[in-house]
Chain A
Amino acid sequence: EVQLVQSGAEVKKPGESLRISCKASGYTFVNYWIGWVRQTPGKGLEWLALIHPGYSDTAYRPSFQGQVTISVDKSTRTAYLHWNNLKASDSAIYYCVRHSTTSKWSPGGFWGQGTLVTVSS
């Protein structure tokens, strides 16, 4: 059974850095694209970035390029999303999502439980 277990809720101040995580199990980690989707009341669902653990290839939504960094640790089967300089507008629920198939052009078939990030002074 595919499972994506995300790290817990975070409360941070503007300007701080943060890394949230997603531990995958139940499938061959290096074969599937995995990424992050955020959800806010104002903008709904937005894909931020994707990564292929086997190829170390990444794809970022243009508006998030340079704002976040996606990475993986193959040894622990964990995906990460990292911020260097948080803003209040980064407050959202962040979902870890694995593609349904091994293709880059695939919908999000498996979702983590979500990580609530709150950025406030």
Chain B
Amino acid sequence: EIMLTQSPGTLSLSPGESATLSCRTSQTLSSTFLAWYQQKPGQAPRLLIYAASTRATDIPDRFSGSGSGTDFTLTITRVDPEDFAVYYCHQYGTSPPGNFGQGTRLDIK
């Protein structure tokens, strides 16, 4: 099973700053099979990015994804107050249904 390790565990930023969230996989993963989700308290996760860099429907362009091999990144430029949430990466390329990282919490500084 491919393991996903997210860092940092918690990221504290002020609105307007940029956020860089990392997801490292234990084996090489095709970028076709890496997604990012956002989860706010009391809500279900929401798909932000799939295929490592493609924004899902209605996702603002301040969210971007990049990476390949074993290192993937979610970047939020100019963090908006509504962006404070927990973010998860997900690999769906092996042994469906795949598995998630443990999450990065983005907190208001």
Contacts and interface: CB of A to CB of B under 8 A. Distances in A.
Interface of A: 35, 37, 44-50, 59, 61-62, 95, 100, 104-109, 111-114
8 residue pairs, one from A and one from B, having the closest CB atoms = A47-B97, A111-B44, A107-B35, A45-B100, A107-B50, A59-B96, A50-B97, A109-B47
B33 A105 contact: yes
- Chain B interface extent, by class: 20 to 34
A113 B98 CA distance: 21
B90 interface: yes
A95 B33 CA distance: 21
20 contacts: A35-B97, A37-B97, A45-B45, A45-B90, A47-B96, A47-B98, A47-B99, A50-B97, A59-B97, A95-B45, A105-B32, A105-B92, A106-B50, A107-B35, A107-B90, A108-B35, A108-B37, A109-B50, A111-B44, A111-B46
A44 B45 contact: no
B93 interface: yes
B102 A44 contact: yes
A14 to B, nearest CB: 27
A44 B97 contact: no
A100 B92 CA distance: 12
A95 B93 CA distance: 20
Nearest to B1: A62
Classify the interface of chain A: helix, strand, loop or mixed.
Answer: strand
A1 B56 CA distance: 15
Given A37-B97, A47-B99, 19 more contacts: A47-B98, A47-B100, A48-B97, A61-B95, A95-B45, A100-B47, A100-B56, A104-B96, A105-B92, A105-B93, A107-B35, A108-B35, A108-B37, A108-B45, A109-B50, A109-B56, A111-B45, A112-B44, A113-B44
